[in-house]
Amino acid sequence: MLKTLYAKLAVVLLALFCVIGGIYVALTMLTTRLYLEEVNQKLNRTLAANLERQKPVMKNGRIDRSMLNQVFDALMAVNPDIEIYLLDPAGRILAFSAPPGRVKRDFVSLAPIQRFLGGERLPIKGDDPRDPARQKIFSAVPLAGGGFLYVILGGEDYDSVVQQLRASYILQLSAVAAVSAVLFALIAALLLFNAMTRRLRVLASSMETFKQSDFAVPVRVPDHRTSGGDEVDRLAATFEEMSGRIMLQMNELRQIDLLRRELIANVSHDLRTPLASLQGYLDTLLLKEGQLSADEQRHFIEIASKHSERLGRMVEELFELAKLDSHVTPIRAENFSMAELAQDVVMKFQLRAEKAGVMLKAEIGPGLPLVSGDIALMERALENLIENAIRHTPARGRVIVSVVAEEGRLTVRVSDTGCGIPEEKLPFIFDRFYQASESREGAGLGLSIAKRILELHGASLDAQSRVNVGTTFAFSLPIAS
């Protein structure tokens, strides 16, 4: 019941109109009665005085009974509602025109009579001798010998509004007019409310559609103004924007969730392989205890150790990547010399390069400007690139790390004369766990980490490669101001 705003408004309006209508009717009836009494009393104000002048009922200080009866009869013929009473100066009823037995009072109050004679504003009501509970309009005049002629003007008395209405055609007409006016206003107001709440209903149903679509389909609210509208227009516009935003975020969340699941699947798969070999070699050692020669034993242990090392490295790199992804460790940017950093890292790998028979060299121009970034992370990225280059370059090859200033940026290139990466594999080398070569020495995470680090610095990592010619990785950072 009353689920819509419109229904609620309509009910409130209906109640309001009923109350107003009731008050109006009651007020009309009351004023009509008072008005009739006022007019009646005004018209007959001088009735008592005229009677007394033309047919004096007191003669020489005594009641003239025959005159009194004449007056009574004449008045009865004109208007049976009019009653005449003869009062002494204290208000006691001395004689009356009503049939005997109908008069219930001996006295009437003199105060209203004094007010009437004093010329106060009409209507003034005095005691009705026939009914102790009622008051009626009257006319009165003081008599020469003391006392008053007291004329009750009567008039209709109604017990209820319905009775009063039934008695008057004009009142009926005016009641019909009033009810029609109220009805008309009510219908007009309901139509108006209906039109005004229609847009709210449209908005509500749009919202419901959005909910039913499981927040997946953004909603267009039909016909609303996009600028300069009222509250409903603003609500509609905000809701449209909100539904679009929610949908985007839901999609994003789904995407992230998918990636995460994929990642977990990959991680468990890639960790399982070295773990299985490790387990295999250890099992063999245990099983063939005493049957293996010292050299064989040593060989198995060495392989197991290598797998364990690889496993450890994978876990460490995964952890590193997770940290970079989750922004737990914010980058600590400072101004530093990329030239010096490149030189240091090259120095660090010199021994390994020599062992592999690869020439490793830094080519750094003089007087290079500083860049802004996190040194530790940048070192990590460089290490990954140089390590890859050395690993994939055969003996007598070259690995060159160059740093040059170009177009307001500092560009770092790590190029080698190694095996290169086939074109079809190039797009995937930055993926986690992806390894282009079959060797399976690393974890396949180094380039993902380097790329992520550069992303955090607002830079990108580019790779160019030709099979059996060589590979070049490059990135550039903005020069520090």
Ligand X SMILES: Nc1ncnc2c1ncn2[C@@H]1O[C@H](COP(=O)(O)OP(=O)(O)OP(=O)(O)O)[C@@H](O)[C@H]1O
Interface ranges with ligand X (CB under 6 A): 317, 384, 388-389, 392, 416, 418-421, 429, 434-437, 442-448, 471
Cα four-point dihedral sign 375, 376, 378, 379: positive
CB-nearer residue toward Mg ion: 138 or 349: 349
Per-residue binding string, Mg ion, 380-409, x by CB under 5 A, is: --------x---------------------
* Contacted entry of ligand X, Mg ion, none for residue 139, CB cut-off 5 to 8 Å set by kind: none
Contact flags string 331-370 toward Mg ion, x per CB under 5 A:
----------------------------------------
389 binds, among Mg ion, ligand X, none (CB under 5 to 8 A by kind): ligand X
Structural contact between residues 76 and 97, judged by C-beta atoms closer than 8 angstroms: yes
274 binds, among Mg ion, ligand X, none (CB under 5 to 8 A by kind): none
Instruction: Give how far Cα 463 sits from Cα of 309, 425, 475, Å.
Output: 28, 11, 9
Judged by CB under 5 A, which stretch of 44-52, 58-66, 254-262, 435-443 contacts Mg ion? 435-443
Minimum CB separation from ligand X for residue 409, in Å?
Answer: 23
CA dist 202 and 298 (Å) reads: 80
Torsion angle (degrees, nearest 10) of CA 224, 227, 231, 234 = 80
Task: Give residue for tokens 């074109």.
Answer: 423
Size of the site for Mg ion (CB under 5 A): 3
Q: 230 in helix, strand or coil?
A: coil
Q: Residue 395 has what DSSP assignment?
A: T
DSSP assignment, residue 337?
-
Pick the closer one to ligand X by CB: 257 or 325: 325
Write down the H helix ranges in 63-219: 65-78, 111-117, 161-167, 169-212
Judged by CB under 5 A, the residue of 446, 457, 459, 470 near Mg ion is 446
Query: Residues near 55 by Cβ (< 8 Å), separated by ≥ 6?
Result: 67, 70, 71
Dist CA 402 CA 15 (whole Å): 87
For position 442 contacting Mg ion by CB under 5 A, the verdict is yes
Nearer to ligand X, 236 or 399 (CB): 399
From the list Mg ion, ligand X, none, pick the one residue 91 interacts with, judged by a Cβ distance below 5 to 8 Å according to partner type: none
Least spacing, CB of residue 392 vs ligand X, in Å: 3
Distance CA(352)–CA(337), nearest Å, equals 24
Q: Cβ of residue 219: shortest distance to Mg ion, in angstroms?
A: 48
- The amino acid present at 144, given as its one-letter code, is A
Nearer to Mg ion, 158 or 430 (CB): 430
Rounded to the nearest whole angstrom, what is the least distance from the CB of residue 263 to ligand X in the complex? 15
Alpha-carbon span 471 to 399, nearest angstrom: 10
Q: Which does 433 bind (CB under 5 to 8 A by kind): ligand X, Mg ion, none?
A: none
| Six-digit token string for 294 | 């010292």
443 binds, among ligand X, Mg ion, none (CB under 5 to 8 A by kind): ligand X
Residues lying near Mg ion in the complex (CB under 5 A) are found at 388, 442, 446
